[in-house]
Structure 1
């Protein structure tokens, strides 16, 4: 070994020996003067306290603070001057280690280099009147000069360490409770003329972070772990916490803060940023009054969240909360729907109107540039605004353009089923929110549907090439430019519903839809679905979130009233064809009212009033008709001879004038129910003829073998029939024809029970053709031989005619 190395080693060994000697001497000094030093330390620490600090015992720990002197204090208790009143000890530490500067100690000065607190409770208490046990620390009067040098020297802390410490901030006046189980908190302190700087490393369990104990705690029972850098300015009283990463639970956050201690109630601002956190995890960090509402929603992919909390440690109540969230390409689940491809910027504040407090009633949510897809239907909302979370109100402008068949998945197929077409929607809405679902929205805007094929399932009605334009105002609904095509029928419609939105939610049965309807060609048989009772909805498994909408639609269609005013160029019903049809129809849940129905048919006109009611699975009708100059042959043919078997359109000729008051039943397919007719018919047939009518031919071939019984003509035939189901009462009437005259009365039955009395004079009417006096003709028509005939049921089911000596006509 070189000589210089040996010399250096000896010097180093000597220095080490010197340090050990000094350190041992200091230890012996501390041990020998333990009582005096304890008094000195206690005095130093009590110098600026309004209260008391007591130390149970003190022991030197030689190697803990090497090369300084480390002192272990046991049972350190710090109480403010009013402790006896509130009984909350500010500090109760089982172990309190203090490391002091060695050189300063030799000069009689205590300079604390490090404090270590473990197995302790720190309890900062404020009573309901605003008094705090932190009043134990006297505020330094910067204007007052110290009386002596001893008083001017403060114990400055260089390092500190907290381990197994329960730290509590209990503010009864402000209803705040912050409680942390500190596993470890390490800090290094640097001092300057303006204040101090601390670098901290924290690991703690947050038991409570309640800014308002009546609402619950933020980040309850979450582990916090990470570093901090804190600066304090004595002149301003501002504590700055530089932004740094802090892990809360499993999620990393960037947190910075500012505390203003210059005011009576310390004001704070905490800035929190989570660049990627799941919605449920973020909601779990908030107070229960907020998280309970947020948990009704979910976002599948992590989101970017920024949050600012601002308030004070005094009685200020809840802090001001401002949150901004960025959502990209996410899946949003709500109580009423699932939105795919979801994108928006969301902003929350509980201070919407300045000066009205940080409450749910003054809270607001804004969603900017909201875009998504609901049941494969894309939509957007420029700005969605929700105000007052006590009684939430949502507003926004909803836009969408989609294939209308996508609605089947959204609303189910029990009411309406779409197969093609395009819908273009632009609606501004305002709605209450009940259980975070839109309730009774007020909407304005337009819904346009074009080229749609749709089926109304409950009544089996199918429409093709449908177009609809819905124009919502604040109260009313205008339905314009509707084009419906069902089979060969084409219907053009414009409608209005007054007070629509209010009645839709409260009393759909009071909705009155006014329709103006025109059609170039209408086939009534294609709309008989409205005659039938509703078919049971198909049982199908579907998401219950759609059921309310579907049920509402059913109620709307089935319970609402419809006032229809029709103008139709051509109307077809089975064999019936009419032109220039007009009608006023009133549809309600109980049936259909018929008013002012008028058509041209068979060269004449037909007018109808009445109603159709739906009871017991049948459609019961009651109508009044007026026929003017209608071709009787065409009329009987169009209505299948009204159920008559013997008298048909082939037997008739002439022009019919008639008034009827009749009722009956028809099936869902529009067929007349056999024997259901009731009512009366008053008729007048002009320029008529009875062609090959078997009942008369059977009688006439024996009585009048030389007369033309196949073509019986008459100028005017009038009478009255009373229809009673299968029986028709023929009121006494006179028939004056080309071959004979007769008086007829009795009952004609379409089953059994026919009993018709016929008086037939054998005199040939042609003998009276030259007589112009009507009175004389009337007197002569029954002269001569008169046959008294009775038409009754035969054994073979056919009508039999027999000669009788006498009878009472009309009975």
Structure 2
């Protein structure tokens, strides 16, 4: 019995298969033709097929139709000219192979239910022109009163392989180009709606909205449920988007009915930052320079219309753990942990922001923690509150900020800052400009300014936008000691090149004003105006040692002000040149690249030798620190110019000095030395004198010495003359005749003699003229040269030195030089000589002097 049943089943199956095969073969053309006729009756576009096959066995109980080289043309609704530069708009669908499963029973009832569609090596172009007309509305609309025959597509499975899908909407300026490597869908699918579960492997070649490209050549995997109404709205549920190792869950959807409208939420956990950063639109060149690493949890929502003019509002929150960042260079931040939020500013990058509610960053150049906000991705505006410690040299190694090439040290502090950051021209000064409140502790900080290196052993700095205060311990070739400073308008000075003010109180061991207050000459190519240092300084300083214009001083107390290019000394007391100096004055550059100096000083017991030595003998070689000794007191008004190297321009000196010299000494001073040879008085080679007062003026490179009367160890004399810094000199000397004749050297010093006391003697007049190489002494017979001409004006007021009162009428005498006789007659005075003066001193002929003379009194 069983064997009989088995045979019946077997032969029945064989018979059925044979019958179905025979029916498929017999009715193949009719079935295919019927199916295509039903499709053609319901669509508005032309369909072309290269070849077709039919089978009732392959997918039983469904019939299977395989179409080859299928092409469906676009509807005529679109303006094809809109797409000429983009794509050929004629084709809606093209496929090398299209497989369709049909319900056999529906075929009997002359209806078609498609259970499956499979497309291979195809191309689907969904186009919308500028007017909003599309090419994919291919289903014919029913006429009024006409019953429409429904074609159901109950899709158990949709397969698409190696198919290019393009959606180009010129009206909304949206472009989506995908390459579908593999897609499977099942659910309910009709010509108007679908509700399916899908899984796809897709390469998004391009997703652009407006002028912004959001995705380019990125591979994604999609899985989840999608609903659509009239192919104008799409909703996602439990939909997962996978990019590399990242999975994002999408809920919500979008609509294209009138405008592209999105209302969707997205979330993900343990997303890899480096991979997710690849999906961030590079709407700014600045963003292209920033790379991230680490992992992040994120949740975001987008709501609103999306087109060329409007963007949905996007807001999200994130939590980064163990992140890294490569900012501007390949030097990575070691660790980043942060929580925050972000927004796209409704598509306006000027309103987009990212906020870090908390962050902790560890780097190879320091550690940072605090809060941060970045808005406006086009011109990034930051707001920052941070505690940090910073290793400056490592910062420069990481980011090569030019301004810190030679800075070293550690900074610990806290700041608040806000302002615009230009990553393309980032510098330390621009970063400092952002700070509006800060406190810093400095340790072993070293930095260069104007070629001089400054070392801060320790210090504290606090500042707000208008005021900066600092207490710093310095060591440098400019300053060594404690500094307290208050700076106002610093930001404007650093960033806008406007003047800023600095008040400094210094208590130092050493200070070098030549380095500290050096002037910066810069030539502006468009004008002859000089751009000078912008810092206006007020320096109240006490220093055990100091250097100013090359002069070393001790126990300095000074108030020095620098405003613009001018340095003023309103008070300066110091020990210098072996004595004390009290000085006021100013120093400022001029347009000739020189430095004008205008000083008034009171000196007390300074060493003349040290003064000459410090000023390099004022550039002359006739009277040097080797020739003069003594201490000087008095006051000096000085005006002149220095070259930029610090050397004094001798020709620019305009000076008036009222000087008292004590315990003076002239050692082999050339004019005195020549005179000693002339009158045979060796004591003139080394003259010592007790006190000497005079007003000496210097102008146009010439030293003017008014008439003065000197009591010295050698001889009493009157002196007047000029001495140039080129070495030329011209002196007029009065000597008492008796001192010349008797050549009597003094055993001790007396105070400076008076003019009357000196003029009571019979006088001889001499001229001493010469330079550093040659000199000449001669007798001035008339004595007329013993008068000073009017001096050149000083400070705009001409000064006249009083001419000496006429001498008392000299007695008549006769001078007889060897080989000649000259008589000089003077008016009788009634006074007779009290002694016979020898008219000749006998000397061996070999040692005869050219300067010998005879004196004979009138009998």
Tell me whether the two structures share a fold, i.e. TM-score over 0.5: yes
1:366 aligns with 2:364: no
Q: How big is each residue's C-alpha offset from its partner over 1:113-170, in whole Å with a ceiling of 9 and x where there is no partner?
A: 2223445443333333334445455899xxx9x999x968845333332345443322
How far residue 174 of structure 1 moved from its aligned partner, in angstroms, is: 0.8
How far residue 465 of structure 1 moved from its aligned partner, in angstroms, is: 2.8
Relative to 1, partners in 2 of residues 1:423 and 1:108: Cα closer, same or farther, differing over 3 Å?
closer
Which residue in the other structure is 1:391 paired with? 379
The range that moved more, 357-366 or 436-445, is 436-445
Distance (whole Å) between structure 2 residues aligned to residue 482 and residue 91 of structure 1: 78
1:332 aligns with 2:332: no
How far residue 603 of structure 1 moved from its aligned partner, in angstroms, is: 7.7
How far residue 105 of structure 1 moved from its aligned partner, in angstroms, is: 3.8
1:243 aligns with 2:231: no
Which residue in the other structure is 1:299 paired with? 292
Contact 1:346 1:365 survives alignment (8 Å): no
Contact 1:576 1:638 survives alignment (8 Å): no
Contact 2:265 2:299 survives alignment (8 Å): no
Relative to 1, partners in 2 of residues 1:89 and 1:315: Cα closer, same or farther, differing over 3 Å?
farther
Matches within 5 A, 1:587-602: 593-599=567-573, 601=575
Equivalent of 1:271 in 247, 250, 266: 266
SS of 1:362's partner is: coil
How far residue 348 of structure 1 moved from its aligned partner, in angstroms, is: 7.2
1:640 aligns with 2:636: no
Distance (whole Å) between structure 2 residues aligned to residue 667 and residue 522 of structure 1: 26
SS of 2:216's partner is: coil
Who wins on radius of gyration, i.e. which is larger?
A: 2
SS of 2:333's partner is: strand
1:565 aligns with 2:547: no
Distance (whole Å) between structure 2 residues aligned to residue 114 and residue 310 of structure 1: 35
- Structure 2: give runs of 5+ residues left out of the alignment: 82-88, 523-530, 740-752, 789-859
Matches within 5 A, 1:359-508: 359-373=348-362, 376-387=365-376, 389-403=377-391, 406=394, 409=397, 417=406, 420=409, 422-433=411-422, 435=424, 437=426, 441-452=433-444, 454-456=446-448, 458-463=450-455, 465-473=457-465, 476-486=466-476, 489-498=480-489, 500-507=490-497
The range that moved more, 421-430 or 83-92, is 83-92
Which residue in the other structure is 1:543 paired with? none
Distance (whole Å) between structure 1 residues aligned to residue 123 and residue 396 of structure 2: 64
Equivalent of 1:757 in 722, 732, 749: 732
Contact 2:17 2:57 survives alignment (8 Å): no
SS of 1:156's partner is: coil
Equivalent of 1:259 in 253, 261, 278: 253
SS of 1:20's partner is: helix
Distance (whole Å) between structure 2 residues aligned to residue 753 and residue 620 of structure 1: 27
How far residue 469 of structure 1 moved from its aligned partner, in angstroms, is: 1.2
Q: How big is each residue's C-alpha offset from its partner over 1:697-736, in whole Å with a ceiling of 9 and x where there is no partner?
A: 99799899999x976444x7222232665x6332333447
How many residues are paired up? Answer: 738
SS of 2:760's partner is: coil
Which residue in the other structure is 1:554 paired with? none
How far residue 489 of structure 1 moved from its aligned partner, in angstroms, is: 4.0
How far residue 407 of structure 1 moved from its aligned partner, in angstroms, is: 5.7
Which residue in the other structure is 1:771 paired with? none
The range that moved more, 389-398 or 168-177, is 389-398
How far residue 741 of structure 1 moved from its aligned partner, in angstroms, is: 5.3
How far residue 384 of structure 1 moved from its aligned partner, in angstroms, is: 2.9
How far residue 505 of structure 1 moved from its aligned partner, in angstroms, is: 2.6
Contact 1:762 1:787 survives alignment (8 Å): yes
Which residue in the other structure is 1:220 paired with? 216
Distance (whole Å) between structure 1 residues aligned to residue 133 and residue 330 of structure 2: 51
Contact 1:211 1:318 survives alignment (8 Å): no
Relative to 1, partners in 2 of residues 1:152 and 1:131: Cα closer, same or farther, differing over 3 Å?
closer
SS of 2:168's partner is: strand
Contact 1:122 1:167 survives alignment (8 Å): yes
How far residue 605 of structure 1 moved from its aligned partner, in angstroms, is: 5.3
Equivalent of 2:60 in 58, 62, 66: 66
Contact 1:513 1:561 survives alignment (8 Å): yes
1:785 aligns with 2:773: no
Matches within 5 A, 1:164-203: 164-189=162-187, 197-203=195-201
Distance (whole Å) between structure 1 residues aligned to residue 771 and residue 94 of structure 2: 122
Which residue in the other structure is 2:853 paired with? none
Which residue in the other structure is 1:678 paired with? 653
Q: Which has the higher contact order (CA 8 A, sep 6+)?
A: 1
Distance (whole Å) between structure 2 residues aligned to residue 21 and residue 337 of structure 1: 73
How far residue 745 of structure 1 moved from its aligned partner, in angstroms, is: 0.9
Distance (whole Å) between structure 2 residues aligned to residue 647 and residue 261 of structure 1: 100
Distance (whole Å) between structure 1 residues aligned to residue 615 and residue 205 of structure 2: 88
How far residue 471 of structure 1 moved from its aligned partner, in angstroms, is: 0.9
Equivalent of 1:584 in 525, 542, 560: 560
Contact 2:116 2:157 survives alignment (8 Å): yes
- Structure 1: give runs of 5+ residues left out of the alignment: 537-556, 765-775
How far residue 444 of structure 1 moved from its aligned partner, in angstroms, is: 0.6
Contact 1:399 1:427 survives alignment (8 Å): no
Distance (whole Å) between structure 1 residues aligned to residue 709 and residue 352 of structure 2: 89
SS of 2:492's partner is: helix
Which residue in the other structure is 2:818 paired with? none
What's the RMSD between the two structures over aligned residues? 5.1
Which residue in the other structure is 2:793 paired with? none
How far residue 759 of structure 1 moved from its aligned partner, in angstroms, is: 0.9
Q: How big is each residue's C-alpha offset from its partner over 1:752-808, in whole Å with a ceiling of 9 and x where there is no partner?
A: 5343211133589xxxxxxxxxxx97555412321324445699x798877654441
Relative to 1, partners in 2 of residues 1:42 and 1:497: Cα closer, same or farther, differing over 3 Å?
same
Distance (whole Å) between structure 1 residues aligned to residue 47 and residue 395 of structure 2: 77
Contact 1:243 1:257 survives alignment (8 Å): yes
Q: How big is each residue's C-alpha offset from its partner over 1:289-312, in whole Å with a ceiling of 9 and x where there is no partner?
A: 36x553222235676666666566
Which residue in the other structure is 1:115 paired with? 117
How far residue 748 of structure 1 moved from its aligned partner, in angstroms, is: 4.2
SS of 1:289's partner is: coil
Distance (whole Å) between structure 1 residues aligned to residue 79 and residue 59 of structure 2: 37
Distance (whole Å) between structure 2 residues aligned to residue 728 and residue 691 of structure 1: 19
How far residue 29 of structure 1 moved from its aligned partner, in angstroms, is: 6.5
SS of 1:681's partner is: strand
Distance (whole Å) between structure 1 residues aligned to residue 255 and residue 648 of structure 2: 93
1:41 aligns with 2:38: yes
Contact 2:634 2:659 survives alignment (8 Å): yes
Relative to 1, partners in 2 of residues 1:263 and 1:10: Cα closer, same or farther, differing over 3 Å?
same
SS of 1:340's partner is: coil
